[in-house]
Structure 1
Amino acid sequence: MGTGAFYSADVLEPGADWRLLVTDRFLGAFGPSTSVSTMSTLWRIAADDALGLDALVGAIPSRGVAAVDSFAIAALGRVATFVVRGGGCADVSVGGRVRRVDARGSEPWYVAELTGVERFQLGPLQRSPGDLTRQARDLPIDGGVVFGPWLGWSSEAAAAPRSAPTPVQQPAQPPLSSFDPHDTNVLGDLGRRAASLRRHRGEPPATAPTPETESATAFRLGDRAPERVDAPVYVGRQPRSPRVTGGVLPRLVRVDSPSREVSATHIELRPTREGLVLTDLESTNGTVVRQPGTGVRRLESGESLPVVPGTLIDIGDGNVIEILAYR
Structure 2
Amino acid sequence: MAGAFYSADVLEPGADWRLLVTDRFIGAFGPATTVSTMSNLWRIAADETLGLDALVAAVPTRGVATVDAFALAAPGRTSTFVVRGRACADVSVGGRVRRVDARGSEPWYVAELAGVEAFALGPLQRSPGDLRQTQRDLPIDGGVVFGPWVGWSSAPVAPPPRSAPPPVQQPLPSFDPQDTNVLGDLGRRAASLRRHRSEQPATAPTPETEVAAAFRLGDRPPERVDAPVYVGRQPRSPRVTGGILPRLVRVESPSREVSATHIELRPTGQGLMLTDLESTNGTVVRTPGTGVRRLESGETLPVVPGTLIDIGDGNVIEILAYR
1:205 paired with 2:175, answer no
8 Å contact from structure 1 (residues 84, 102) kept in 2? yes
2:43 aligned partner: 44
Indicate the residue corresponding to 1:142 in structure 2.
Answer: 141
Q: Which runs of 5+ in 2 are unaligned?
A: 176-202, 217-226, 252-260, 266-274, 279-311, 317-323
Identical residues among aligned pairs (%): 62
Q: Which AA in structure 1 matches 2:210?
A: P
Q: Give the drift of 1:65.
A: 1.2
Which residue pairs with 2:166 in the alignment?
170
Deviations 1:9-39 (A, max 9, x none): 2110100000000000000000001101000
Taking the aligned partners of 1:125 and 1:96, their CA distance within structure 2 comes to: 21
CA distance in 2, matches of 1:110, 1:33: 20
Secondary structure of residue in 2 paired with 1:156: coil
Matched, 1:151 2:153: no
User: Equivalent residue for 2:308?
Assistant: none
Helix, strand or coil for the counterpart of 1:122?
strand
Question: After superposition, what is the alpha-carbon deviation per residue over 1:122-159, rounded to whole angstroms, capped at 9, x for unaligned?
Answer: 0000111011111111110011000100000000126x
Contact persistence 2:41–2:55 (CA under 8 A): yes
Alpha carbons of 1:149 and 1:10: their partners in 2 closer, same or farther (altered >3 Å)?
Answer: same
**Which amino acid in structure 2 is aligned with residue 175 of structure 1?**
P
**Hey, what does 2:255 align to over in structure 1?**
none
Aligned residues between the structures = 227
SS in structure 1 at match of 2:36 = helix
Deviation of 1:64 after TM superposition, in Å, equals 1.2
Distance 1:66 1:40 in 2: 13
RMSD across aligned C-alpha pairs, in angstroms? 4.2
Q: Is the 8 A contact 2:69 2:83 kept in 1?
A: yes
**Equivalent residues in 2 for 1:1-327, closer than 5 Å:** 1=1, 4-157=3-156, 169-178=165-174, 201-202=204-205, 204-208=209-213, 217-219=231-233, 245=244, 271=264, 273=275, 275=277, 326-327=315-316
Output one character per residue of 1:40-89: Cα deviation in whole Å (capped at 9) or x when no partner: 00011111111110110010011111110000000111110000000110
Q: Distance in 1 between matches of 2:143 and 2:174?
A: 20
TM-score, structure 2 as length reference? 0.59
Q: Secondary structure at the match of 1:37?
A: helix
Query: Residue 286 of structure 2 corresponds to which residue in structure 1?
Result: none
Determine the C-alpha separation between the residues in 2 that align with 1:325 and 1:147. Answer: 50
Q: Partners in 1 of 2:172 and 2:54 — Cα distance?
A: 24
| Aligned-partner Cα distance in 2 for 1:47–1:141 | 15
* Per-residue CA distance 1:197-229 (angstroms, 9 max, x = gap): xxx742623445769x97884448xxxxxxxx7
The whole-number CA distance in structure 2 between the counterparts of 1:202 and 1:34 is: 22
TM-score by length of 1: 0.58
Q: Cα distance 1:164–1:131, how it changes in 2: closer, same or farther (>3 A)?
A: closer
Q: Distance in 1 between matches of 2:90 and 2:242?
A: 30
Matched position secondary structure for 1:54: helix
Change (3 A) 1:119 1:105: same
Q: Residue 104 of structure 1 aligns to which amino acid in structure 2?
A: R
Question: Within 1, Cα distance between the matches of 2:83 and 2:263?
Answer: 18
In the aligned structure 2, how far is the partner of 1:101 from the partner of 1:37? 27
For 2:243 and 2:230, how far apart are their aligned partners in 1? Answer: 21
- In structure 1, how many angstroms separate the alpha carbons of the residues matched to 2:89 and 2:116? 12
Is residue 36–residue 176 contact of structure 1 (8 Å, CA) maintained in 2? no
**Aligned amino acid, residue 102 of structure 1:** D
Counterpart-to-counterpart distance in 2, 1:25 and 1:106: 25
Which amino acid counterpart does residue 202 of structure 1 have in structure 2?
Answer: P
CA deviation map 1:144-199 (0-9, x unaligned) = 000100000000126x8xx79989753332234447xxxxxxxxxxxxxxxxxxxx
Secondary structure class of the residue paired with 2:118: strand
